[in-house]
Amino acid sequence: MDKPVATTRIQKRNVSIISEAALEVFSTYGFRGATVDQIAREAGLSKPNLLYYFPSKEAIHSHLLTTLMDVWLAPLRDLDASGEPLEEVLAYVRRKLELSRQRPRESRLFANEIVQGAPHILELLSTELKDLVDEKAAVIAGWMDAGRLAKAHPYHLIFSIWSLTQHYADFDVQVRAVLGPKVKDPTREAGEYLEVLFTRMLKVD
């Protein structure tokens, strides 16, 4: 809803600048906590000028959430039914953790939205997201039935991958506060830990 006007090159460029600024602000302060003024300042535009490209604050937010959904789900889409099971799952974990490291703002944007009850994307969750998870959970269940992966609840396996990888983006301040300033790259440690965790969990003896 409320797509931005974007036909000329200048317009496309400004829409992209605004999106970048809005991602920065929304991911830090949440929807209500963010102000259009802040986003405009971050984007280097005046407030009315910004509202020329997007009709409202809500429109910017919606635009971000929907366009980012694809990026967010790509790692799961890439889970390949014809691959080697354990390696496929571990590769998924790696891709997801890499996404948390490289795009923590996107992760926090979603986290803010979902913690508050997903008012803007509830529909997407029970359609697009559910369909994809249904499909991939079936693949994983197939591997388990074939004895190629240790048995476990496939849906909760996927939830645990989301939870553990996104934790290092969403709760970054807490992780750093607990580990102390000496640990420069918590996500690298996390990668090693998660590799061990899911191998022990899923490897067939």
Amino acid at 146: A
Q: Which is nearer to DNA, 55 or 142 (CB)?
A: 55
Maximum Cα–Cα distance across the chain: 64
Distance of closest approach, residue 15 Cβ to its own copies, in angstroms: 26
Q: Choose among DNA, its own copies, none what residue 30 binds, the Cβ cut-off being 5 to 8 Å by kind.
A: its own copies
Q: Using the rule CB under 7 A, is 17 a contact of DNA?
A: no
How many Å apart are CA 49 and CA 103, to the nearest integer?
27
Say what angle helices 130-145 and 85-102 make with each other, to 10 degrees. 150
Do 100 and 168 contact (CB within 8 A), yes or no? yes
Q: Using the rule CB under 7 A, is 35 a contact of DNA?
A: yes
Q: Which is nearer to its own copies, 33 or 44 (CB)?
A: 33
- 56 backbone dihedrals φ, ψ, rounded to 5°: -160, 165
Do 106 and 72 contact (CB within 8 A), yes or no? yes
How many Å apart are CA 60 and CA 73, to the nearest integer?
21
Interface residues with its own copies (CB under 8 A) are 28-33, 108, 111-112, 114-118, 122, 125-126, 129-130, 133, 150, 152-153, 155-157, 159-160, 162-164, 167, 170-171, 173-175, 177-180, 189-190, 192-193, 196-197, 200-201
Interface residues with DNA (CB under 7 A) are 5, 7-8, 10-11, 14, 34-37, 45-49, 51-52, 55-58
